Amino acid sequence: MDYVELHASSAFSFLGAASVPETLAEVCAERGIPAIGLLDRDGVYGSPRMHMAAQSLGLKAYVGAEVSVDDALFGEAARCRYPLLAETRTGYQNLCRLITKYKLREHHKGQGAADLTELEEYAGGLVCLTGGEEGPLTEALRRGGYDEGRRTVERMVQTFGPKNVYVELQRHRNRQQEARNKAAVSIARNLHLPLLATNGVTYATPREREIQDVLTAIRLHTTLEGAGTNLQGNAERHLRSGKEMARLFADLPEAIHNTVALSDRLKFQLKDLGYELPRYPVPQGETMISFLRERTREGWERRYGHRTEFGLKERARRQIERELALIEKLELSGYFLVVWDLVRFCNEQKILVQGRGSAANSAVCYSLGITIVDPVGMDLLFERFLSEERGEWPDIDLDLPSGDQRERVIQYLYTKYGRHGAAMTANVTTYREKSASREIGKVLGLSEDTVSEVSSAVSPFEWKSPTETVEEHFRKAGLNLSNAKVVKYLDLVQRMQDLPRNLSQHSGGMIVCRGQLDAVVPLEPATMPGRVVVQWDKDDCSDFGIIKFDVLGLGMMAVLEETLFLIRDGYGEEVDLAQLPPDDPAVYAAIQQADTIGVFQIESRAQMSSLPRTRPKCFYDLVRQEAIIRPGPIQGDFVNPFILRVLGRQAITYPHPLLEPILARTLGVPLFQEQILKVAMVMADLTGGEAEQLRRAMGSKRSVAKVQAMESLLRSRMTAKGVEPRVQDEIIRLIQAVGHYMFPESHAASFAALTYSSAYLREHYRAAFTAAILNQQPWASTRLTLS
């Protein structure tokens, strides 16, 4: 029999449920459940991932939330959670607005609740269930018996309408629950309301009941022993197949049928968010694209007008034209204007700003003054930044001086677009081995010493050698791995990895919206005062077409800004970083001698040891230098071959002739992310979508595992192309390096620009530069000036 689970919670209920959305989707698919309604606590945190996971498995994912409500009469004493499902886009928008409203006024994180008036105000387009253990009907029955329960359901009918209230029945093989179910059925019959069977899912499989109990103990700051009846009484709150549910509700088949009927009603899907970028106000008679074109043309004159390289200006003009045509086609002119406006504000306020990342591949961005790297001169690939095939939004990162200046820029965005029009993206903190071992050790009642031993055995660095397993850390901590309690401890720690722990604020990701952002995704206050954060992280925003840009604080930008000020003050000179003489011999001489203390990105020991060998002589040498001391090239063993080839001690060879155009600029050794992508595309004929999958694997968590998962696909494609096994091995080895971090070329170029600027100022204005570095240290109590 068909059955749809319409009341499930994921681990994005943050310590309220035990399974990630992907696991829920997989188990739904295994058990033949065609659709699932995800109702996390007070938010839609997990809905994007649920949608993506369900879509990939051919399932439907409905959106909703369990909304905390304080009863009108009993207030917080009768707080319960109303399960709400979004039937239409209006319903979804109302849900987001409702959650935003009470979240933004909460005094303590996670303690906010709506009141019944607000529930009424935002009820349109929502379907309300009477809930499970923490729902309004159970709370009312506990408080005042059958009569109180009936009154509560009548009130729900008044709020949402008789067609939008379903009396929910859950059967977890519990006597008290079944007694309440009897009352619920009676109320439903009396009020002519449909019954709805759900399983109140908080974990995908019975085994995860253990994780659920652990999370409950963590949430209550107690041990498993001390959590008492707050723990699960059995393991029944898992996903059940239609057959199991039909058997369980054999006496009430209508409750099962109604799940399908309601599922058919729920039209809203997360892809229909209705997000729109703000419309930039342009002068009368202009459109956004015409305004953008004119600003770009002005910038093109400014940037390329004085350049003497043969044909450069014309090539730049053609490139800009191509980019603007694509921008117009994709209707992204508003996005570029928003960023341009922000850069303009920074310039007016004398705040140093520089775009980086894939934006540095765009000639339009260079002309608008967003970036300082000339992509035409450097022959960077625009499609890395913006591609019609990829169907992805562009991503511009702005580096600003760290500290107050950056905060001014962020507050400018909040002011310009309104409290509900701009917000920062979230960052989901997940359990890692250290945090999991610490918290699980406590709930198991282990001594502080034991917990500390295990926790300190874990390396603080993200990179781990193959022998650094959880089991190995336990052994190092002196735990007996044959002891039953230790075995359970180890098992729980391994299973808790990557489960969401809490929501925090991303360091600089910002999104803006035309109209109200709180109708697209709920907003909540960040821990920092004056900041608002959306409930989704940057990947979720990207998946659903919400454009973001990063506003990041860079210590070196603060140093450069301070240096320019000191130069102005001390020497009476005005230095424009964009107009520094390129390829200053003295600067490169210092770099080649590794006289680079204080210089951006090349003052580490690893960098300083390589500089006298690589001997950068020009800007592109610096670009390559930025990229070599990174986990990817190190893990992939690219660094030494590159250095040997620079020194002429190794011949420049290529794994396959097809790779020469891709790797020639780096002497046959891949140093940049794009090169690896291109290698995969050329050698394994990856489609745009597959290349996109590989690209996404690069920056994500568990990137190594994801890249490894693609290996069989890559090999089969290369075999089909007749590539020799030995060469395939080498190609796979190259591609796997991208599982560890590698710089995009444009990113390296942006950083190289900062490196050159800092090296130049250091060389020619040593006193000002040194004073600026010291002034920017966190421990600096007095400000140095030049006399």
User: What residue ranges bind other proteins (CB under 8 A)?
Assistant: 141-142, 145-146, 172-176, 179-180, 183, 209-210, 213, 224-225, 228-229, 231-236, 444, 484-485, 488
Structure token digits, residue 18: 């035990």
Pick between residue 108 and residue 175 the one whose CB is nearest to other proteins.
175
Pick between residue 101 and residue 209 the one whose CB is nearest to other proteins.
209
Q: How far is the CB of 210 from other proteins (least distance, A)?
A: 6
Using a CB cutoff of 8 Å and minimum separation of 24, what contacts does 227-234 make?
227/443, 233/172, 233/174, 234/172, 234/173, 234/174, 234/209
Using a CB cutoff of 8 Å and minimum separation of 24, what contacts does 565-568 make?
566/765, 566/768, 566/771, 566/772, 566/785, 566/786, 567/761, 567/765, 567/768
Q: Under 8 Å CB-to-CB from 185, ≥6 apart: which residues?
A: 167, 169, 195, 252
Pick between residue 211 and residue 599 the one whose CB is nearest to other proteins.
211
Nearest partner of 638 among 678, 594, 665, 672, judged by Cα? 672
Surface-to-core class of residue 107, CB atoms within 10 Å of its CB (0-12 exposed, 13-18 middle, 19+ buried): exposed
Pick between residue 485 and residue 568 the one whose CB is nearest to other proteins.
485
Helices 585-592 and 605-614 meet at what angle, rounded to 10?
120
Q: How far is the CB of 141 from other proteins (least distance, A)?
A: 6
Amino acid present at 302: R
Q: How far is the CB of 253 from other proteins (least distance, A)?
A: 18
Pick between residue 484 and residue 651 the one whose CB is nearest to other proteins.
484
Pick between residue 74 and residue 146 the one whose CB is nearest to other proteins.
146
Q: How far is the CB of 13 from other proteins (least distance, A)?
A: 21
Q: What's the rounded Cα separation, in Å, for the pair 131 and 153?
A: 11
Q: How far is the CB of 434 from other proteins (least distance, A)?
A: 21
Q: How far is the CB of 431 from other proteins (least distance, A)?
A: 18
Pick between residue 180 and residue 293 the one whose CB is nearest to other proteins.
180
Q: b/e for 205-236, b at 16 or more Cβ within 10 A?
A: beebbbbbbbbbbbeeebebeebeeebbeebb
Helices 333-348 and 404-417 meet at what angle, rounded to 10?
130
Q: Under 8 Å CB-to-CB from 232, ≥6 apart: which residues?
A: 209, 212, 213, 216
Q: How far is the CB of 198 from other proteins (least distance, A)?
A: 18
Q: How far is the CB of 273 from other proteins (least distance, A)?
A: 41
Pick between residue 198 and residue 367 the one whose CB is nearest to other proteins.
198
Structure token digits, residue 85: 């499902």
Q: Under 8 Å CB-to-CB from 108, ≥6 apart: which residues?
A: none
Q: How many CA atoms lie within 13 A of 70 on its CB side?
A: 13
Pick between residue 139 and residue 550 the one whose CB is nearest to other proteins.
139
Q: How far is the CB of 149 from other proteins (least distance, A)?
A: 9
Structure token digits, residue 179: 């007694």
CB 560 within 8 A of CB 352: yes
